[in-house]
């Protein structure tokens, strides 16, 4: 990243190859939308290029990148909120080799995840799928490591409760899906 | 260990960063606690969620963005490749980078404000020192323009415009001969009573001019409107001209005179004597 910062912008391609898949997965789990996720990934790398001078040597690139990714997502939520509909079900791609039960459970999991408030969904995805350590997440969210652990545990417990409700198949189950309002304040990178 | 103690260890246990002994304690607790055990199961179950791959054209989009960036961007990064090309020659530009920070923005905004105040003060002083003859010339030009407007308005068909013309003519302290003549003409011959009364009002402010006094006295004989006649009688009584009483007596002899006007003339004559 230092090379990119010093003007060798072609080196950003190396970072793109390394991080586009994890970043895409972060977004696809957050949004359940492939197209939106791909657009967001492109936007993140455009912002990295645009704001590369704000990258400070000595900081972890991954943490800095996720800060930009969070801000990009926040901006996207603000932009689409008026048109967002809760009725649309996520499009869930599955490999054909998955067993039927696994497919069903994964679909339920995805629905449960989307019913989780945005901040809880985010912290769970960051800790479970993005291979970020708690101290990295703490730096990213600007809070204490202990607070991150508590929030991860609470998010997991709420997810389990939602999952169990969905699994029990109560048709009238009133689950409040998370919204952008629950996103905690964050330090802006750019 | 109770659930609260386990809750502190559980996040690290889930990420596999717990020491073996503590991990064992968590597992032992979970064997007897369904709630905590379900949390662990849930964490593991999340592995069911598929890992998606971005589409193959994602890299092509990125390359296109990267290729287009230096020419389309408007921020500082557009200069960076040049900096790389010129090496240390372009390095002095880096000195100005701080101007882009919020502190820099405040600094140059303040500098611009001070510069603006300085220039404003200079311009103001300059205007005070303008030659007096220039101001006089401008004033004369403005006066002649007002007169032109007044004369032009007095010729209009519309009574309200002629009224405007009368009020424009009254803006100057000194009555121009042309304006005076136009106002006297209006007082005598204008079709509208209102305009004639306004012209009388405008002329009454210039009592020091004998021509105005004479013109008003002459107008009395030609007036048909009782309103204007009464206004003229009042004006003559107020000025107390030596020949005013004689004029009023002559006026009283006019046949078919309105009784109220005749009465007013008598009152004025008694006042003048």
Average pLDDT over residues A84-98: 47
Would you give the DSSP letter of residue A8?
Answer: -
pLDDT in tens, B193-227: 888 999 898 888 888 888 888 888 888 888 888 89
Q: Which residues of A touch B81 (CB under 8 A)?
A: 7, 9
A122 pLDDT exceeds 80? Answer: yes
pLDDT on residue B56: 84
pLDDT band for position B74 (cuts 50, 70, 90): very low
* CA dist list (Å): B266 to A4, A170, B133, B229, B256: 106, 109, 54, 13, 16
Displacement of CA B30 from its chain's centroid (Å) = 74
pLDDT of residue B83: 38
H-helix segments, chain B:
3-15, 20-32, 34-45, 57-72, 80-86, 102-128, 132-154, 159-169, 177-189, 193-204, 210-222, 226-239, 244-252, 259-272
Half-sphere exposure of B46 (CA within 13 A, CB side): 24
Q: Is the pLDDT of residue B155 over 60?
A: yes
DSSP A33: -
| Region B41-53 average pLDDT | 86
Please say if the pLDDT value at position A183 is more than 60: no
Residue A66 to residue A79: CA distance in whole angstroms: 20
Q: What is the pLDDT of residue A96?
A: 46
How many angstroms away from the CA of A177 is the closest CA of chain B? 18
Statement: residue B77 has pLDDT above 50? no
- The answer to whether the Cβ–Cβ distance between A93 and B52 falls below 8 Å is yes
Does residue A142 carry a pLDDT above 50?
yes
Query: What's the pLDDT band for B237 if we cut at 50, 70, 90?
Result: confident
Q: What residues of A are in contact with residue B58 (Cβ under 8 Å)? A: 20, 24, 38, 41-42
- Residues of B within 8 A of A109 (CB-CB) are 45-46, 48-49
CA-CA distance, A134 to A151, in Å (whole number)? 11
Helix (H, G, I), strand (E, B) or coil at A89: coil
DSSP code for A92: -
The chain B residues in contact with chain A (CB within 8 A) are: 7-8, 10-12, 14-15, 17, 38-39, 42-43, 45-46, 48-55, 58-59, 61-63, 65-66, 69-70, 73, 75-77, 80-81, 83-84, 97
Residue B112's CB is within 10 A of a number of other CB atoms, namely 10
Please report the beta strands in A114-168, taking only residues with DSSP state E, as ranges in sequence order: none
Query: What token pair was written down for B66?
Result: 């990267």
Confidence check: pLDDT of B71 > 60: no
H helix or E strand, kind and range, residue A156: helix A145-168
pLDDT at A34 over 70: yes
Which of A115-129, A158-172, B115-129 is most confident?
A115-129
pLDDT of residue B125: 61
Contact A67, B84 (CB under 8 A): no
Distance CA A176, CA A3 (A): 45
Instruction: For residues B273 and B245, give the distance between their C-alpha atoms in angstroms, rounded to a whole number.
Output: 8
Pair B211, B195: CB distance under 8 Å: no
pLDDT > 90 in chain B, percent = 4
Asked if B235 and B200 count as a contact pair (C-beta separation under 8 A), the reply is yes
Residue A146: closest C-alpha in chain B? B8
Q: Which of A6-20, A64-78, B8-22 has the lowest mean pLDDT?
A: A6-20
In angstroms, the separation between the Cα of residue A178 and the nearest Cα of chain B is 18
A residues 124-163 near B, CB within 8 Å?
124, 127-129, 133-134, 148-150, 152-153, 156-157, 159-160, 163
Q: What would the pLDDT profile of B87-129 be if each residue is shown by its tens digit? A: 334 445 556 666 777 778 888 899 999 999 989 888 766 555 6
Please tell me whether residue A90 adopts helix, strand or coil conformation: coil
Q: Tokens in use for B62? A: 């990125």
> Is A88 in CB contact (< 8 Å) with chain B?
no
Q: Is A25's Cβ below 8 Å from some Cβ in B?
A: yes
Q: Report pLDDT for B80.
A: 40
Average confidence (pLDDT) over A10-18: 84
pLDDT, residue B167, reads: 82
Q: Are B197 and B227 in contact (CB under 8 A)?
A: yes
Q: Per-residue confidence at B16, pLDDT binned at 50, 70, 90? A: confident
Report d(CA B124, CA A12) in Å as an integer. Answer: 55
What mean pLDDT, rounded, does chain B reach?
Answer: 81
Task: Assign B75 a pLDDT band (cuts: 50, 70, 90).
Answer: very low
Record the tokens describing residue B92, joined without a space.
Answer: 């002095």
**How far, in Å, CA of A124 to CA of A163, rounded?**
14
Tokens read off for A177: 């899906």
Q: Please give the mean pLDDT across all residues of chain A.
A: 79
pLDDT at B176: 81
CB B42 to CB A163 under 8 A? yes
Higher model confidence: residue B273 or residue B25?
B25
Please give the class, per CATH, of domain B136-272.
mainly alpha
Q: Are A184 and A119 contacting, i.e. CB atoms less than 8 angstroms apart? A: yes
Residue B127: the pLDDT is 58
CA distance B247 to A69: 100
* B51 neighbourhood in chain A, CB within 8 Å: 25, 129
Structure-token pair, residue A20: 């586009």
Q: Is the pLDDT of residue A185 over 50?
A: no
Domain extent listing, chain B:
3-42, 136-272
> Could you tell me the domains of chain A?
1-79 (1.10.1740.10), 100-185 (1.10.10.10)
pLDDT score at B94: 58
């Amino acid at each position: 990243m230092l090379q990119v910062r010093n003007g060798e912008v072609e080196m950003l391609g190396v970072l793109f190859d390394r991080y586009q898949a994890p970043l895409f997965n972060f977004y696809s789990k957050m949004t359940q939308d492939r197209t939106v996720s791909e657009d967001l990934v492109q936007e993140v790398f455009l912002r990295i290029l645009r704001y590369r001078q704000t990258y400070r040597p000595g900081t972890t690139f991954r943490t800095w990148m996720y800060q930009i990714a969070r801000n990009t997502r926040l901006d996207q939520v603000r932009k689409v909120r008026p048109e967002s509909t809760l009725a649309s079900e996520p499009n869930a791609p599955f490999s054909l080799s998955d067993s039927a039960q696994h497919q069903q459970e994964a679909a339920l999991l995805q629905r449960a995840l989307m019913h989780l408030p945005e901040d809880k969904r985010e912290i769970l995805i960051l800790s479970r799928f993005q291979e970020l350590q708690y101290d990295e997440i703490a730096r990213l969210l600007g809070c204490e490591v202990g607070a991150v652990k508590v929030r991860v545990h609470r998010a997991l417990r709420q997810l389990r409760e939602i999952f169990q409700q969905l699994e029990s198949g109560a048709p009238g189950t009133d689950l409040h899906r998370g919204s952008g309002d629950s996103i905690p304040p964050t330090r802006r990178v750019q | 260990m109770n659930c609260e103690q386990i809750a502190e260890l559980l996040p690290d246990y889930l990420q596999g960063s717990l020491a073996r002994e503590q991990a064992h304690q968590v597992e032992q607790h979970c064997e007897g606690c369904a709630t905590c055990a379900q949390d662990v199961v849930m964490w593991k179950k999340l592995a069911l969620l598929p890992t998606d791959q971005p589409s193959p054209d994602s890299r092509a989009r990125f390359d296109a963005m990267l290729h287009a960036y230096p020419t389309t961007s408007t921020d500082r990064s557009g200069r960076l490749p040049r900096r790389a090309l010129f090496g240390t020659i372009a390095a002095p530009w880096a000195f100005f980078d701080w101007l882009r920070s919020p502190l820099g923005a405040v600094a140059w905004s303040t500098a611009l404000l001070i510069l603006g105040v300085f220039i404003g003060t200079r311009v103001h002083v300059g205007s005070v020192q303008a030659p007096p003859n220039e101001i006089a010339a401008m004033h004369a030009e403005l006066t002649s323009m007002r007169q032109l407007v007044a004369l032009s308005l007095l010729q209009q068909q519309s009574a309200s415009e002629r009224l405007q013309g009368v009020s424009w003519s009254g803006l100057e302290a000194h009555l121009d001969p042309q304006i005076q003549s136009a106002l006297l003409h209006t007082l005598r011959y204008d079709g509208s009573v209102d305009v004639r009364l306004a012209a009388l009002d405008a002329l009454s402010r210039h009592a020091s001019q004998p021509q105005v006094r004479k013109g008003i006295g002459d107008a009395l004989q030609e007036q048909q409107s009782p309103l204007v006649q009464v206004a003229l009688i009042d004006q003559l009584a107020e000025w107390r001209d030596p020949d005013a009483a004689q004029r009023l007596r002559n006026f009283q002899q006019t046949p078919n005179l309105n009784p109220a006007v005749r009465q007013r003339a008598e009152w004025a004559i008694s006042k003048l004597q």
